[in-house]
Amino acid sequence: MKRLFALCLIVLAGGCSSIEPWVSPFERNHLADPIMSFNKAPVSSSYLHHVYQAREGARGAEGGSGGGCGCN
């Protein structure tokens, strides 16, 4: 039982260590390209969501969140 507890502690401690980014900042030029944005034109995508929502029963999770380029 003690060994199991120790093993859990090791695993949990390992989870606290910092995670090295697997995509370096200098490798993110593709991700920073405007074509890689989930919401390139907010005013247009908002309107299109409105069109869908007005005519469909589903609602929510339409997107519009920012891209994940991690370039800043």
Partner 1 sequence: MHAVLRADPEAVVAVTRSAIFIALCLTVYGVQAAVLPEDRADFLYHGYDGDGLEVNGPSILVRKSMKDKVSVWANYYVDMISSASIDVVTTASEYSEERQQTSVGVDYLHGKTFMGLSWTNSEEDDYTADTVAFGISQDFFGDLTTLGISYAVGRDEVRRNGDTLFEEHTDRQNFRVDLTQVITKNFVLNLNYEGVTDEGFLNNPYRQVRYLDTNEARGYAYQSELYPRTRTSSAFAVRGLYYLPYRAAIKGEARTFSDSWGISAYNVEVGYTHPFDNGLTLEAKYRYYDQSAADFYSDLFPFQSAQNFLARDKELSSFTTHTVGGGASYEFKPTWIPFIEKAEVSLFGDFIAFRYDDFRDVRVTDVAPGEEPMFEFDGWVVRAFISFWY
> According to CB under 8 A, which one of 6, 7, 8, 39 is a site residue for partner 1?
39
Give exposure, 61-72, as e/b (b: 16+ Cβ within 10 Å): eeeeeeeebeee
In the shown chain, the binding pattern of residues 2 to 21 toward partner 1, with x for contact by CB under 8 A and - for none, equals -----------------xxx
> According to CB under 8 A, which one of 1, 12, 13, 35 is a site residue for partner 1?
35
> According to CB under 8 A, which one of 6, 8, 9, 47 is a site residue for partner 1?
47
CB 40 within 8 A of CB 34: yes
